[in-house]
Structure 1
């Protein structure tokens, strides 16, 4: 009887939303998306596109890309925010929470389990060798991301120049990423408004005009999509309380010098200022966590990224590992593992709660701006600038994967790390080159590359060659 009533309630909710997609069906599809979401944002977005646009026909190509461009503009992981956005379009706030929450749940569980193993055995034998192989594959995957995003975003000389300027600014001069994003957006906005073709929105074919969301919305926006001040105030109050209250409680109760307060404040700041998706976030987080807070070493940061690459969910789940290790090494009166568990979950909470705020607050306004020429131009140039930032990250990872030592350069306004060429790790170089060949030339699947690199890393380490 209860099951029948639930089905009737789901059907009523679906009819009220204007489509016949039940909440239960959406749950199963979003769970499937979450479980298949390997390989970083490029792979995750591809999975969502294949399932939601091509297979299920729940959303058209044009609306999918409009939502994606908005999510790329936001701080935080664009793939998780895209899932939240589409879930909100389909089933309002409950749908957005379900889609966004399911997207990160498998990663939370997997990263926590791997963090326990790493903290207990990370410097011992097999585990150390496993992560040695992972890092080489991760480097090849990041370089592949640069190429894939670059092919889509750098379609003319203006976009190539913007990407180059962004790379030089962030790699050689440490220009903050928000400044790069704002500058790129302003250039794109006024370039598009002036009618310059270089700044026009990218044309995408293959859309399906009869998709469920598009049939639902049409030209007239339903209540949950139409923006209003009352809705904005409600959303802001709820999600800001969920975000700010735990941070304030830690600061008041434990003081600003406590590691949990530092985790809460640092990752809250990252949630507000780190734009451009996972790769852009990690470049900044890695530098701060390693060089400023000394929570972990550069190679440990790469180990954490290797965990995130091998588990479902967004790459930004590596922040849970960073919070885990920070609290593990400064547990206070708690046991190290218990403190580490709380530190990892705290980092995850303050990282993802703002993601829901940005979507639920901004998505109604973004839906009203579909087709806006200036906004499309700004999003295009921001995407180009992000390519330069991803290139910066790939070089940073490459330096710490392929070289055992680097030295800082600070002169003539420059600030970057220079490799010590004599410290080149030959085994890591060979593994990275093999992984890159498998990805670029042989089109080997990402999971096979990761598995092969792990096996090769173990073999080389136990053979005494690495």
Structure 2
């Protein structure tokens, strides 16, 4: 059902246009976005093989940066290498960037977005249904009947719910565990465990902050740090952004920061695009451009640089086992994040009913487009929020 890796059944422009559409209409954050890519590119169109998709998920989880954007970049790389990765990455990010810049302009021009709370009230609840369906499909496809993978899946789901964050080293540990269990390396069979201790990850390069830069340079350095050193989904970057944007630099106050996160949730594309809105509030269009570029450039480099090695060695038994372990961990964390997001988005009976209804509708009508659900939820939010919060 899937095309051979060396003979793509689609053109470069077809996948670029697909990512442009996903970036324009893909609601639900990273959990839903990676689910859409699997459904559309692996299951329905057969453009990407299951193994290539799993390699992309594993690489995106191993490297810092936003999950959905890195997966999109890797899928662009699969058949069209550097050009594909570059064009796909741009197509995926630019639509939501333009939207948040426009919202940033409106926010500044009209003194806030009072209607946003009403819209997010409905959309935030409906998004739970969207990502729950995506998480279910990913679990069914990636974990299967394997008891070890199920143990990893459940562990990571529980850790994500308890800590409300993604613990990066557990992804690596899960990969190593499955690797050693299924295809132990020769040195392990021979008892050479000490050899493992000599392996080191390359040290992360620090960012120079000893000088007093101009505002745009300061923005660039801060958001580059956010993109380079924060693991997990777009939601995982939010606490890091709060610490710098509100607490350290005092660029925004608490209300403005919450509004920035809400903007990211009610617009399609990657949640991390909130950096564009924040940058706009701090320094206008130049600030938005610098913040977005600084955040996404590291994730692009962390994807395309190791990608050739993933392609070259990805079919070896040890690597396949490692990827399976990381994939199970990733899907477990994604499932746990559904619960975390639900705790924040479901605040009363109407939002609970919206979440359940969205899940039921998407389960029943499998071909229904998610933007339709989002639009209906936004309209309901506009009607219900004033009644529930007079």
Q: TM-score, length-normalised on structure 2? A: 0.73
After superposition, what is the alpha-carbon deviation per residue over 1:224-252, rounded to whole angstroms, capped at 9, x for unaligned?
xxxxxxxxxxxxxxxxxxxx9xx98x986
Residue 355 (str. 1) matches residue 299 (str. 2): yes
Q: Secondary structure at the match of 1:345?
A: helix
Alpha-carbon distance between aligned partners in 1 of 2:117 and 2:71, rounded to the nearest angstrom: 35
Q: 1:106 aligns with which of 67, 87, 95?
A: 95
Q: Which residue of 2 aligns with 1:193?
A: 180
Q: Secondary structure at the match of 2:313?
A: coil
* Bigger CA radius of gyration: 1
Q: 2:361 aligns with which of 442, 452, 455?
A: 442
Q: Which residue of 1 aligns with 2:238?
A: 282
Worse-matched range after superposition: 308-317 or 110-119: 308-317
Residue 74 (str. 1) matches residue 63 (str. 2): yes
Structure with more contact order per residue of length (Cα contacts < 8 Å, sep ≥ 6): 2
- Asked if 1 retains the 8 angstrom alpha-carbon contact of 2:124 and 2:265, the reply is no
Alpha-carbon distance between aligned partners in 2 of 1:137 and 1:144, rounded to the nearest angstrom: 11
Q: Which residue of 1 aligns with 2:195?
A: none
Residue 159 (str. 1) matches residue 153 (str. 2): yes
Q: Secondary structure at the match of 1:349?
A: helix
Residue 456 (str. 1) matches residue 390 (str. 2): no
After superposition, what is the alpha-carbon deviation per residue over 1:421-461, rounded to whole angstroms, capped at 9, x for unaligned?
xxxxxxx5234212211223333764344333332332245
Q: For residues 251 and 110 of structure 1, do their structure 2 counterparts lie closer, same or farther at Cα, with a shift above 3 Å needed?
A: farther
Worse-matched range after superposition: 98-107 or 299-308: 299-308
Q: For residues 46 and 150 of structure 1, do their structure 2 counterparts lie closer, same or farther at Cα, with a shift above 3 Å needed?
A: closer
Alpha-carbon distance between aligned partners in 2 of 1:355 and 1:100, rounded to the nearest angstrom: 10
- Asked if 2 retains the 8 angstrom alpha-carbon contact of 1:30 and 1:102, the reply is yes
Alpha-carbon distance between aligned partners in 2 of 1:355 and 1:125, rounded to the nearest angstrom: 33
- Asked if 1 retains the 8 angstrom alpha-carbon contact of 2:126 and 2:373, the reply is yes
Q: What pairs with 1:54-453 in structure 2 (closer than 5 Å)?
A: 54=43, 56-121=45-110, 123=112, 125-138=114-127, 156-165=150-159, 167-168=161-162, 170-171=163-164, 180-195=167-182, 255-256=212-213, 259-286=215-242, 288-296=244-252, 300-325=256-281, 327=282, 339-383=283-327, 385-386=329-330, 387-388=332-333, 391=336, 395=340, 398-399=343-344, 428-443=347-362, 446-453=370-377
Q: For residues 398 and 265 of structure 1, do their structure 2 counterparts lie closer, same or farther at Cα, with a shift above 3 Å needed?
A: farther
Q: For residues 61 and 102 of structure 1, do their structure 2 counterparts lie closer, same or farther at Cα, with a shift above 3 Å needed?
A: same
Alpha-carbon distance between aligned partners in 2 of 1:260 and 1:434, rounded to the nearest angstrom: 44
Question: 1:101 deviation in Å?
Answer: 0.9
Question: 1:341 deviation in Å?
Answer: 1.9
Alpha-carbon distance between aligned partners in 1 of 2:343 and 2:247, rounded to the nearest angstrom: 17
Gaps spanning 5+ residues in structure 1: where?
A: 1-16, 198-243, 328-338, 403-427
Q: For residues 31 and 147 of structure 1, do their structure 2 counterparts lie closer, same or farther at Cα, with a shift above 3 Å needed?
A: closer
Gaps spanning 5+ residues in structure 2: where?
A: 1-5, 185-205, 364-368
Q: For residues 342 and 117 of structure 1, do their structure 2 counterparts lie closer, same or farther at Cα, with a shift above 3 Å needed?
A: same
Alpha-carbon distance between aligned partners in 2 of 1:288 and 1:186, rounded to the nearest angstrom: 30
Q: For residues 284 and 348 of structure 1, do their structure 2 counterparts lie closer, same or farther at Cα, with a shift above 3 Å needed?
A: same
Q: For residues 163 and 377 of structure 1, do their structure 2 counterparts lie closer, same or farther at Cα, with a shift above 3 Å needed?
A: farther
Question: 1:372 deviation in Å?
Answer: 3.7
Question: 1:363 deviation in Å?
Answer: 0.4
- Asked if 2 retains the 8 angstrom alpha-carbon contact of 1:263 and 1:323, the reply is yes
Question: 1:283 deviation in Å?
Answer: 4.9
Provide the aligned C-alpha RMSD in A: 3.9
- Asked if 1 retains the 8 angstrom alpha-carbon contact of 2:76 and 2:88, the reply is yes
- Asked if 1 retains the 8 angstrom alpha-carbon contact of 2:54 and 2:324, the reply is no
- Asked if 2 retains the 8 angstrom alpha-carbon contact of 1:75 and 1:277, the reply is no
Question: 1:73 deviation in Å?
Answer: 2.2
